[in-house]
Amino acid sequence: MVLDEVFKLNNGVRIPKLALGTWQTPNDIAKNVVETAIKAGYRHIDTAIAYENETGVGEGLKAGLEATGLHREGIFITSKIPAEVKDYAQAVNCIEESFKRLDCKHVDLMLIHAPKPWSEMWKPKFPNYYKENLAVWKAMEEAYEWKKYRAIGVSNFSIDDLKNIMDNASVKPAVNQIRVHIGHVPTELIDFCKANDILIEAYSPNATGRLLKNQAVCDMAKKYGVSVPQLGCRFDLQLGLLPLPKSTHEEYIKQNAAIDFEISEDDMQVLMSIKEE
């Protein structure tokens, strides 16, 4: 089963191949969602400071462990330092506050949420925030060295942003979490990460619902007898990526993890040829 499978990060840490995404999951329902996911077999939960649900995720983690009898080491928890945080002192404070909200002794993976503040992400290349990202990375490296994190990485980073970290820091990013789904496959960035042993985590594998409006994708899902979100997750997985499906409903949480089927090579090529509308 996919839920029992893992990737190995570049520092040797094992990371479950599928994660529950919690973006847009309100804090007051995050506990129930996370507990439900753990009971359903999920072993990887993805959150972020910016999601404002770390407290609920931490409560759900404890409830899920109690319900299943698992140890804390049995669940992989990822969080992220906000994109707007671009200096060392702020990063240190975020790290400390994140631990308090999650109520964990360690977090398995911490990411820089984006290389620029969100308001500047889709503006021209400059400013590039290279120096600022290195300051945040330094704070994360220290926490990693103190074993507060089992791995550290980034999210939404371009090749140039990654090279800045790789060329100027002691610890290479273990992960780059980016948007990848049918219709949007940034091949050059994916190939660069694979060549440098940086795992790609794929958020929005269902394109935040847009794939449900694509007839070719719907027809392909019907061919395999699966839902469109299941097809999207399987597509990312077969690209060698780690998908992060998101739902707050028990039925869909379970369904999104039922992806133990194989998309044929020919059908993968068809899906790769689809362009985002």
Which one from 42, 51, 144, 203 is the annotated catalytic residue?
A: 51
93 CA to centre of own chain: 22
Give the residue from 63, 66, 59 showing the smallest Cα distance to 100.
59
Query: Does the annotation count 51 as an active-site position?
Result: yes
182 CA to centre of own chain: 17
Q: Which residues of 99-118 are buried (b: 16+ CB within 10 A; e: fewer)?
A: bebbebeebbbbbbbbbbee
3-state DSSP helix/strand/coil % of the chain, to nearest 5 = 50, 15, 35
Q: Which residue has 């371009």 as its token pair?
A: 158
Active site residues: 51
